Amino acid sequence: MNPGQSDTINIAAAKSLEAAVWDLIGQNNAKQAIAECEKLNRQYPEFGSGWHTTSHLMMRLGNVPAALAAIERAVLIDPGQLDWQLQKAKCLARLGRVEELDATVKTLSARELSTAYQCAALGLLHTQLGSRELAVGFYKKAIELQPDQARNYYNLACMQRSLGELEAAEINYDNAIRLDPEDYESYKIRSDLRRQTPERNHVAELEQLLDSGIDDERGLVQVCYGVAKELEDLGEAERSFRHLKTGSDRRRKLMKYEVERDLETIEAIKRAFSKDIFAAPGDGCDNDEAIFILGMPRTGTTLVERILASHSDVFAAGELNNFAVQLMTMMRAANIDKKVTRDEMVQSSATLDFKRLGEAYINSTRPFTGKTPRFIDKMPLNYLYVGLIHLSLPKARIINLQRHPMDTCYAVYKQLFVDAYPFSYDLEELARYYVAYHQLMQHWHAILPGVIHTIQYEDLVDDIEAKTRQLLDACGLDWQAQCLKFYENKEASTTASTAQIRRPIYKSSVGKWHEYEEQLQPVAEILQQAGILQDTQAQ
């Protein structure tokens, strides 16, 4: 019996009822599982494990506040249960209660760990706190305790990849695949870790996997993208694109998406944020810390982030969705009793309390930010909110990345994103979206002259020092030579460019689309019709 539990508890009966709850959870019978949990807690309120089970059930159902309340009851009954403390930390992480999470994780990290689960859980929690070096140690400990668990090798490899330890990461992705040959994500990430060579690649292994048949549709997509990337490295453009198109077509079929809705939203943004809105003196938040790096994905946003983050006065906060979240929070509050269309939501966003929005955004980035004079928010999609960003944070710097339209579209098309950019898996949809994005950026430049500092990717890689000096000046930062050695920056990166940013500047991606000119004709035709490309042969 656990300390603090009443002598009157019928442990056998409580455990039997608890086992029934887990059976119901396994059957996905949520309604009955909730009823049985309530019965368990009502009959045996001093049975801590019952509250622990309730917390897991509530987490599965997405009711995180209820999950936290339940696990706190369990911890009160027996504070010594490490697994219960870990469950509490997971709840705190989901709720974004960073300071409490940090204190809890520090306490748990000092305790003696006895299971691989405990080590792996602490590894994940350290990852969520941005302490990836510490996470590596816990994942290694988990592997020591359970060397036959593929997921531990995968987690360790992901941490090593983000820290730039690419050779070690490849070894551990190999280990994950060895233990779980159906870990298709590991195949895909492993292909991206380095430039593949004729002497050292995985093309035969990946094509054999495809030939043998992959029942998991998402796994099939990942392997297709992996082999396409490796074949591109080997200069086999036709074979590469064939696999890429197979993967992208399959990925598109798995999605419910209408590009027209996104195009309509962009048009609504242009209507809502006319020049008149910016004519009157603004009343935004006075904070000047934020540097927004935005643009289409795969245009050099991560490269610019690393250059800036190498400056001693700048902290790279990552791809934050905080601005969109705070905006939507205020929008829901303003329209709580109304049913409004997306167009009406966009229109009403132009009437918000901009100062309050700016303050809410800055506060939402704490406690990670605020320790340096500037921080970077590198969410590419913030190009949708340029008007709102300037109204709510008029002193924020806005850096826009631009790249040749065809290189941009090809780079986006060949990237398998996790849960973003649904327009990227069909060439015609991609081109139509690019046109809308291009026209939106033209709109922002027209109504906010001088507000956006645009960097052309090709110019940056051609003369990195000159463009870096201009960039630092635009951000109000003094010159620091270490910004040119961004590849020596040891800070973690979790973007698709993780491997590339560990290398000095290179130009091999400039004009890459020419190798796929025939396959990319649907894109070129739409861009030409929009006046974005005048002559693809001359570009």
Q: Which is it for the CA torsion 274, 277, 281, 285, positive or negative?
A: negative
Q: Which residues of 333-345 are buried (b: 16+ CB within 10 A; e: fewer)?
A: ebeeeeeeeeeeb
Query: Which CATH number is 260-500's, of 1.10.3720.10, 3.40.50.300, 3.40.1190.20, 3.30.70.100?
Result: 3.40.50.300
**Measured distance CA(180)–CA(431) in Å, rounded:** 38
Q: In this structure, are residues 85 and 108 in contact, taking their beta carbons and an 8 Å threshold?
A: yes
pLDDT at 231: 97
**Measured distance CA(120)–CA(170) in Å, rounded:** 19
Q: Which residues of 126-149 are buried (b: 16+ CB within 10 A; e: fewer)?
A: bbbbbbbebbbbbbebbbebeeeb
Average pLDDT over residues 291-306: 94
Dihedral pair phi/psi, residue 66, rounded to 5°: -65, -35
Helix (H) or strand (E) holding 50: helix 48-60
**Measured distance CA(139)–CA(162) in Å, rounded:** 14
Mean model confidence pLDDT for the chain = 91
pLDDT at 515: 93
pLDDT at 419: 82
**Measured distance CA(283)–CA(114) in Å, rounded:** 56
CB atoms within 10 A of CB 61: 14
**Measured distance CA(173)–CA(393) in Å, rounded:** 43
Q: Convert the pLDDT of each residue in 175-199 to its tens digit.
A: 999 999 999 999 999 999 999 999 9
Q: Convert the pLDDT of each residue in 403-426 to its tens digit.
A: 999 999 999 999 999 888 999 999
Cα 246-252-257 angle, rounded to 5 deg: 170
**Measured distance CA(396)–CA(317) in Å, rounded:** 15
Provide the percentage of residues in the chain whose pLDDT is more than 90. 78
Exposed, middle or buried by CB within 10 Å (0-12, 13-18, 19+), for 191? buried
Rg of the chain taking only CA atoms, in angstroms: 26
Q: Convert the pLDDT of each residue in 72-119 to its tens digit.
A: 999 999 998 999 999 999 999 999 888 899 999 999 999 989 899 999
Instruction: Judge whether residue 7 has pLDDT over 50.
Output: no
Using CA atoms, how far residue 137 sits from 126, 149, 187, 447, 484, in Å, is: 10, 16, 24, 51, 31
Average pLDDT over residues 457-486: 94
pLDDT at 10: 85
CB atoms within 10 A of CB 309: 24
Higher pLDDT, 314 or 509: 314
CATH 1.25.40.10 matches 1-111:
yes
What does the domain layout of the chain look like in residue ranges?
A: 1-111, 260-500
Q: Convert the pLDDT of each residue in 139-175 to its tens digit.
A: 999 999 999 999 999 999 999 998 889 999 999 999 9
Dihedral pair phi/psi, residue 452, rounded to 5°: -100, 125
CA atoms within 13 A on the CB side of 119: 23
**Measured distance CA(72)–CA(79) in Å, rounded:** 9
For 420, the token pair is 């973003």
Q: Convert the pLDDT of each residue in 232-263 to its tens digit.
A: 999 999 999 999 999 999 999 999 999 999 99
pLDDT at 495: 59
Dihedral pair phi/psi, residue 394, rounded to 5°: -60, -20
Q: Would you give the distance in Å from CA 508 to the centre of its chain?
A: 26
Q: Which residue has the tokens 């001093």?
A: 46
